[in-house]
Amino acid sequence: MEEIKKVTWRSPSNIALVKYWGKKSGIQIPANPSISFTLEQCYSETSATLIKKETKNRDIELRFYFDGKENMAFRLRMLKFFDIIAKDFPILRQYGLFVHSTNSFPHSSGIASSASAMSALALCLCDLQNQMDKKKVSKDKFLEESSYYARLGSGSAARSVYPLIAEWGKAKGVKGSSDLHAIPFEQNLHKTFKTYQNTILIASSAEKKVSSRVGHSLMKNNPFAAVRYAQANKNLRDLIVALKKGDLEKFGSIVEDEAMTLHALMMCSSPSFVLLAPSTLSMIEKIRRFREETKLPVYFTLDAGPNIHLLYPNNIKRKVDSFIFDELEQHCEQGKMIHDNVGKGPFSVK
């Protein structure tokens, strides 16, 4: 195998504070703006290698390995993505491509991997195409371009390319915001949030009953859709103020409102679906009681699944660790959890 060029990128997952749930018509256009913390410990590491093509035709020649094993299901998903973007990436038809990917978090942890996986892949492709074209682009331009293509792979992946926090989706009053790519938002972040902690409590690692893609599409006929999109815009505006000021209480109340709304929308979709587990509710109750009793700013959010993302400032880590150990660990599947924190964003692995 003649290797022509190889790049490797490590890109993190993210956790949405204001949720993207519902799409407009068009390719991956969000129905409302969203914002997320970029994580650190949960990441995908992907390398993409260009090799000499086996045939002379224009077909895409791709081999895909996940955790060292060839994976045909993921390969098919990638080929669909490549079909959408191939017109902007001549390398995809000029060369053969080997892609190897791994996740830092276990495959069966119930953690969504599309954000980290698709952002890592988009970063690899943009890097490869630029290098083959001998094109010098600024870092800002490179990340914007990667975010744009990551979005076409999976909406939430658009936000993973920026350090600490990223906003995606046209929003009134948010300069530079766009439906087509995320924007960096670090400059609007109070220092307390730059070291924020996120412990992921695994309520269940079972595969999701309903994919995000289907969940988004069910918003089309959800009777609360219009109200939801207005609420998301307002929550984003209010959250931005809290993020700037370092207002942890306001931050927490918005974030919990978003988590509960996301799941309420699922429950009242047609058909209805429930992704919460009984242990999710037990943990929510305990978190709210703990907050009431201690007045400590410990809040939670949820992804499209049963796992709790506990959010708290770094300076109360020890107290929260004891609370987790004493009260929450017993509700986690085999005691499973992942300690994560707000992170610095993707980087190229040399």
Q: In the complex, which residue's CB is closest to ligand DP6?
A: 155
Q: Considering only the stretches 89-97, 209-217, 266-274, 282-290, report the one whose residues sit in contact with ligand DP6 under the rule CB under 6 A.
A: 209-217
Q: H-type helices in the chain, by residue range?
A: 72-85, 91-94, 114-132, 139-153, 191-194, 212-218, 225-245, 248-267, 278-294, 317-323
Q: Between residues 96 and 155, which has the closer beta carbon with respect to ligand DP6?
A: 155
Distance of CA 125 to the CA centre of its chain: 19
Q: Considering only the stretches 18-26, 65-73, 122-130, 244-252, report the one whose residues sit in contact with ligand DP6 under the rule CB under 6 A.
A: 18-26
- CA distances 275 to 34, 86, 104, 216, 259, Å, are 21, 35, 24, 14, 12
Figure out which of the listed residues 8, 9, 11, 20 binds ligand DP6, where binding follows CB under 6 A. Answer: 20
Report the site for ligand DP6 in 260-279 (rule: CB under 6 A). 262
Separation of alpha carbons 33 and 229, rounded Å: 9
Q: Does 16 interact with ligand DP6 (rule: CB under 6 A)?
A: yes
* List of residues 6+ apart from 213 with CB closer than 8 A: none
Q: Does 336 interact with ligand DP6 (rule: CB under 6 A)?
A: no
Q: Does 291 interact with ligand DP6 (rule: CB under 6 A)?
A: no
Under a CB-based contact definition with an 8 Å cutoff, are residues 280 and 308 in contact? Answer: yes
Under a CB-based contact definition with an 8 Å cutoff, are residues 74 and 64 in contact? Answer: yes
Report the site for ligand DP6 in 214-233 (rule: CB under 6 A). 216
Q: Does 34 interact with ligand DP6 (rule: CB under 6 A)?
A: yes
Q: Does 109 interact with ligand DP6 (rule: CB under 6 A)?
A: no
Q: Considering only the stretches 4-12, 67-75, 208-216, 248-256, report the one whose residues sit in contact with ligand DP6 under the rule CB under 6 A.
A: 208-216
Figure out which of the listed residues 213, 234, 244, 245 binds ligand DP6, where binding follows CB under 6 A. Answer: 213
Q: Is 34 exposed, middle or buried (0-12, 13-18, 19+ CB in 10 A)?
A: buried
Contact flags string 146-175 toward ligand DP6, x per CB under 6 A:
--------xxx-------------------
- CA distances 273 to 20, 224, 328, Å, are 18, 15, 25
Residues that bind ligand DP6 (CB under 6 A): 16, 19-21, 28, 34, 112, 114, 154-156, 212-213, 216, 262, 303-304
